[in-house]
């Protein structure tokens, strides 16, 4: 299993326009979560100019498929998006746990 971050660069009018598409967007996100693909997601605050969605899987396919069908992307609330593999090494859900040598 690997982790992938889906970054959304949000349009300047994102907060004003999201209401129209939010229900469908959230439904899509909860379905991805229930399928085990999406771990956690949300917009960054102050300013609300970026959203970050954490996916898990063997490839970035689930994150890319999400963006390709997300009404926020399809209706211009997202200016651009990108997926980056995230090498997680610490924490209960780390994909590549690395612990210090004994005594460190």
Could you tell me which residues are beta bridge partners of residue 5?
54, 84
pTM of the complete model: 0.93
C-alpha atoms less than 13 angstroms from C-alpha of 104 in its C-beta half-sphere: 5
Closest residue by Cα to residue 43 from 59, 27, 25, 61: 25
Sorted by where each starts, the structural domains of the chain and their CATH numbers stand as: 2-86 (3.30.70.1060)
Amino acid 102: pLDDT: 76
Q: What percent of the chain has pLDDT over 70?
A: 98
């Amino acid at each position: 299993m690997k982790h992938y971050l889906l970054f959304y660069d949000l349009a300047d009018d994102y907060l004003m326009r999201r209401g129209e598409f939010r229900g469908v967007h959230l439904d899509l996100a909860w379905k991805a979560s229930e399928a085990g693909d999406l771990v956690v997601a949300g917009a960054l605050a102050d300013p609300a100019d970026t959203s970050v969605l954490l996916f898990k899987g063997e490839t970035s396919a689930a994150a890319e498929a999400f963006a390709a069908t997300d009404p926020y992307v399809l209706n211009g609330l997202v200016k651009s998006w990108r997926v980056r593999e995230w090498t997680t090494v610490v924490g209960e859900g780390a994909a590549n746990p690395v612990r210090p040598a004994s005594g460190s």
